[in-house]
A and B are shown apart, each in its own frame.
Chain A
Amino acid sequence: MANSNNNRIITEAINNYNRYRKPEAVAELISFKDNKSIIKFSGHFRHTCCVNDYFDDFVVECNNKVKIKEIKEKKEFYLVEFSPIDK
């Protein structure tokens, strides 16, 4: 997937994700480099069951064109790294 195309997918996914989940879960682009994006997830979803399903939701918002590479829990949020799926 080309860099610019992936960036566009991530940006649109963040908009859609936030539209239907904010303030329960809020996605924010932290960095986009070498086709890998790091998204910050904050909100009180962190205190509910099945936290990882919220990150899977983001994958779905990207039309399953990305995959989760790494999940890091920080003080008040999660940092999740996504990379494109090579077809």
Chain B
Amino acid sequence: MELKKINEFTWQIDKQDSMKVPTIIYASEKLLEKIKQDKTLEQAKNVACLKGIQKASYAMPDAHQGYGFSIGGVAAFDMDEGIISPGGVGYDINCGVRLLRTDLKADDALSKRKQFLDEIHKEVPAGVGKGGITKVTKDVLMEVLSKGAKWAVEQGYGTADDLQKTEEYGNMKADTNAVSERALQRGIPQLGTLGAGNHFLEMQKVDQIFDKEIAKSFGIDEAGQIMVMIHCGSRGLGHQVASDYIKKMEDKYGTQGLPDRELINAPISSELGQKYYNAMCAAVNFAFVNRQMITHWTRDVFKKVFGSSEGMNQVYDVCHNLAKFEKHEIDGQKKEVCVHRKGATRSFGPGRVEVPEVYRNIGQPVIIPGSMGTASYLMVGTKKAEEISFGSTAHGAGRVMSRHEAIRNYRGEQVKKDLETKGIIVKGPWKGLAEETWQAYKDIDEVVKTSHKLGIGNLVARLVPLAVMKG
């Protein structure tokens, strides 16, 4: 596979064989070496063969191998000729990240971190097999799937300001009839849960500010300010939606002509394509509600531990896994396309109506979570991203070591000790701690530096963890 260097951070596989467009990889040389270790490049090339793909198949700086599409893969498809693919969205639909600001300073928070973690552990259901503490009926779940975060706010789990500062304003229009009974049954006990795997809730402090003016607009006043980051998704409900529609699409359209059967898809304009889109939107809404409820409980814990949750406002909530209809400039014309972002973050610059009014002159906040023990970053979306990556950037550091290797090489107890040496306290299963150890991820500093230098997301602030609850 010939990889052509376009510039320091851009690599291209030219259009060849059945490719309809080229493949573009955004990575530094260091990141590219890691990307080459699995099938990321082959997957990005396969996506370039799909019907109706526009401009190019893209891999973001943190790309790694996924199901069909690579994680960190971005592709946009023509609304008439193009396809929609569950593999291009991923199983954990709308896995995403939410960032909250506080008025608290690190010096005031450090002594109560353990109490914070103990309380948050009581309030927020997390880990394998942990069900939600909010019991909902099927009728209520249907409302959740239809209204998204708006439902949560109506129930007292947040504010109108939270909705304003959520991608899609916390709701994608969904026909909930497209969601199977099985998916509903998996969703009912999991509403308001963090889940297991690499999901977390983290108390952080602002370590460094790169752009004071934009940071201020995002609610960050100074270094040392306490922030809270929540990372979770649509749990089993989203997973079931993906499973259901992969089966349906295979039954209806088969896999003939596909470079990889994991790229099973349906025309966007088909009845089945529309049904998947609607079910996916319902799962997106479920994930928004999950993060909204966890936000509410986090505020409660703050009130209890620190005496107040005043000023604990949402900076933004971004999605990592979904397909959306967006307008982008293609061949000099504005055109509506179906953008698949799988393990990628939307990164819209100033002026887009999708960006909340409060940030519209600046660009949207882009939240890039690190793993336990590493920094996370707050960035700002750019016009450049709209031009060269369908308004997308990286989503996190990406995994370079298998879970087993992580467990074999880093014992949970040792990970906990190491983190404590760095001033970070953790709560979670020992095994989970080893799985998510920071050595298991690509260098997040390298990922965000690449995004920044490319201009597909500009640095605003660096956040470092103080206390982590692992799912």
A residues bordering B, Cβ < 8 Å? Answer: 20-21, 23-24, 44-54, 56-57, 60, 68, 71, 73-76
Contact = CB atoms under 8 A, between A and B. Distances in A.
Given A24-B262, A52-B128, A53-B236, A46 B197 contact: no
A49 B65 contact: no
A47 B64 contact: yes
A10 B233 CA distance: 29
B396 to A, nearest CB: 10
B240 interface: yes
B303 interface: no
Contact of B402 (A20, A47, A71): A47
Contacts of B402: 46-47, 76
Nearest to A77: B404
B162 interface: no
A57 B64 CA distance: 23
B262 A51 contact: no
Contacts of B407: 73
Interface of B: 38, 64-67, 71, 90-92, 95, 128-129, 182, 186, 195-199, 233, 235-236, 239-240, 243, 246-247, 250, 262, 399, 402-404, 407-408, 431
A50 B194 CA distance: 10
A22 B162 CA distance: 40
B181 to A, nearest CB: 11
Given A44-B65, A48-B66, A53-B236, A73 B404 contact: yes
A48 B199 CA distance: 11
B67 A48 contact: yes
Contact of B67 (A24, A52, A68): A24
Nearest to A71: B128
Given A73-B403, A75-B404, A50 B243 contact: no
B272 to A, nearest CB: 15
A60 B182 contact: yes
A57 B246 CA distance: 13
Given A20-B247, A60-B182, 14 more contacts: A24-B67, A47-B65, A48-B71, A49-B233, A50-B91, A50-B195, A50-B196, A52-B195, A52-B197, A53-B236, A54-B239, A56-B236, A75-B404, A76-B404
A56 B239 contact: yes
Q: Which of A53, A56, A74 has the most CB of B within 10 A?
A: A53
A14 to B, nearest CB: 15
B186 A60 contact: yes
Nearest to A23: B262
29 contacts: A20-B250, A23-B262, A24-B262, A44-B65, A47-B64, A47-B402, A48-B67, A48-B90, A48-B92, A49-B90, A49-B91, A49-B92, A49-B95, A49-B199, A50-B91, A50-B95, A52-B196, A52-B197, A53-B91, A53-B236, A56-B186, A57-B239, A60-B186, A68-B129, A73-B403, A74-B404, A75-B404, A75-B408, A76-B402
